[in-house]
Amino acid sequence: MKVFLTGGGGFLGSYIVKLLIKAGHEVTNLSRGDYPELRKIGVKTIRGDITDRELLLEIMKGYDACFHVASKVAMWGHTKDFYQQNVTGTENIIESCKVNGIKYLIYTSTPSVVFGEESISGGNEKLPYPSKTFSRYAFSKSIAEKKVIEAASKELMTTSLRPHLIFGEGDKNLIPRLIESAKKGKLKIIGCGENQVDVIYVENAADAHLQALEQMIASPEEINGQCFFIGQGPIKLWPFINKILEKHQIAPIKKRVSFRMAFIVGAVIEGFLGLIRSYDIHPPMTRFVALQLSKDHYFSHEKAHQLLKWTPKVTIDEALSRI
């Protein structure tokens, strides 16, 4: 099968690419950067941006399936930047799939699209989008996900996967930032430290994407137009973080700060950065981060197990040993 993929140079995207090649698919990747390592394994690479509608309409000809993995991921940034990349870019992908007769579209979303202010404990795909969110990233992804699901038809079959807190070898975001903060003594337990979350090893997340394509071909009436939570858990977040730090010979985090204090600090920082129009930095705290680090957010994976025929192949303990 000929597969078009966006974001193959990124963390999750690179694992999806490798599994696609291993499965015998012919893969073309579109990324803003240059990734010669992809060419070495037989991937055709194109440098470009998903916001370039005319480019996508031209280069997405002749493919059977599309994996749309690329997005702007950040805890802080300008609303228009998130919208342009995550919403307009997804609109362009959908249109290009339709115009070029691509039959299958697998979209990489996030469980954050349903996370508002309250804990989520074992929620399933019937959870509504929240009326209020503190993440511009999550808000933009929810708009994009809705557009992907609404685009589902017999001509273009779509599905949206929501992998949660992806970790593993090659991660340049989640774990490196935790380690950097811990080394500087800036990482503190927020809240009671007993909150439970889902996580997922990157190889398992990539495998779920390929399973989504296989099952959409095998059972389109069950997969088309559906969302799926993808994760492993629940686990207690702070003991998990301390296990990661232990692997890097860093002392466990014991100092605590209340959720209320962290939330207020996040609000002050966001207000100040917005006032001076600074959107290109990584603030030490935001309201969304305070919520994520203190509240429960884990989900039922039964729908993915039943309809995608997916179960994690690598356990959390084994994954931790690999990193």
Catalytic residue positions?
Answer: 137
Closest CA to 72 of 165, 152, 1, 135: 135
Structure tokens at 54: 């005319």
Tell me if 148 sits within 8 A of 133, measured CB to CB.
Answer: no
* DSSP calls for 119-137: -EEEE-TTPPPPS--S-HH
Residue 64: φ, ψ to 5°:
-95, -35
Closest CA to 291 of 255, 257, 262: 262
- Cβ-in-10-Å burial (0-12, 13-18, 19+) of 167 comes to buried
